[in-house]
């Protein structure tokens, strides 16, 4: 009986320790404001558990699913001043219907200044072409879709280089604002 009681107390102590640890997890809270015709449509708060990942453009894609189209990286020193195109099937026939391509243009510092996707009729993906603007610190400041000006994004940073505000525009009008 005493042995059973000891096990029960150990199980309860373990449960409480795990539960207390889970509640102490730090989070980052984002205020999401959505607009319709220039007016606030709704506001809500999204809570993201804190990890070691930086709050950068890729953080917003991962947790909020936009900007949806991004290059794998915005810098590649080996590609300074170059434009490259990567086909889905490099050895196959050049055909935008079935063998689409991604094109990246780099500046003299090896930063992506534009990235594009030809199209994919078989998978219903439309073409896009984004231009990239950088701030004085070399961080992505704006992404602008240039084929039909459908959407664009602006990023605002704190002194530590983390994004503190993201604005998404659709046809030039503010649609969504995320602030942390």
Residue located via tokens 């795990």: 18
Tens digit of pLDDT for each residue in 41-98? 999 999 998 888 899 999 999 999 989 889 999 999 999 999 998 877 666 566 655 6
Q: Which helix (H) or strand (E) holds 84?
A: strand 83-87
CA distance 30 to 17: 28
Q: What pLDDT is attached to residue 52?
A: 85
Q: What pLDDT is attached to residue 147?
A: 86
Mean pLDDT of the region 124-149: 90
| Strand 27-36 with 101-106, pairing | unpaired
Tens digit of pLDDT for each residue in 109-122? 999 999 998 876 55
The full set of domain ranges for the chain reads 31-179
With vertex at residue 150, the alpha carbon angle to CA 122 and CA 38, rounded to the nearest 5 degrees, is 140
Say if CB 114 and CB 69 are below 8 A apart.
no
Is residue 131 very low, low, confident or very high in pLDDT (cuts 50, 70, 90)?
very high
Mean pLDDT of the region 147-173: 93
Contacts of 4 (CB under 8 A, 6+ apart): none
Mean pLDDT of the region 13-23: 54
At 60, is the secondary structure helix, strand, or coil?
Answer: helix
Q: What DSSP designation does 82 have?
A: -
């Amino acid at each position: 009986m005493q042995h059973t009681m000891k096990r029960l107390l150990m199980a309860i102590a373990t449960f409480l320790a795990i539960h207390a640890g889970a509640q102490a997890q730090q989070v980052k809270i984002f205020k999401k404001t959505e607009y319709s015709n220039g007016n606030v449509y709704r506001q809500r708060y999204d809570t993201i558990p804190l990890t070691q990942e930086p709050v950068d453009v890729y953080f917003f894609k991962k947790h909020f699913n936009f900007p949806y189209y991004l290059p794998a990286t915005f810098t590649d020193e080996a590609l300074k001043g170059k434009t490259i195109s990567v086909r889905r099937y490099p050895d196959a026939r050049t055909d935008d219907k079935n063998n689409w391509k991604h094109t990246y243009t780099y500046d003299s510092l090896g930063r992506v200044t534009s990235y594009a996707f030809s199209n994919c009729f078989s998978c219903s993906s439309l073409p896009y072409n984004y231009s990239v603007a950088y701030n004085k610190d070399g961080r992505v400041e704006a992404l602008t879709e240039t084929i039909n000006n459908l959407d664009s994004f602006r990023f605002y940073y704190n002194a530590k280089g983390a994004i503190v505000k993201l604005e998404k525009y659709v046809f030039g009008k503010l649609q969504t604002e995320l602030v942390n």
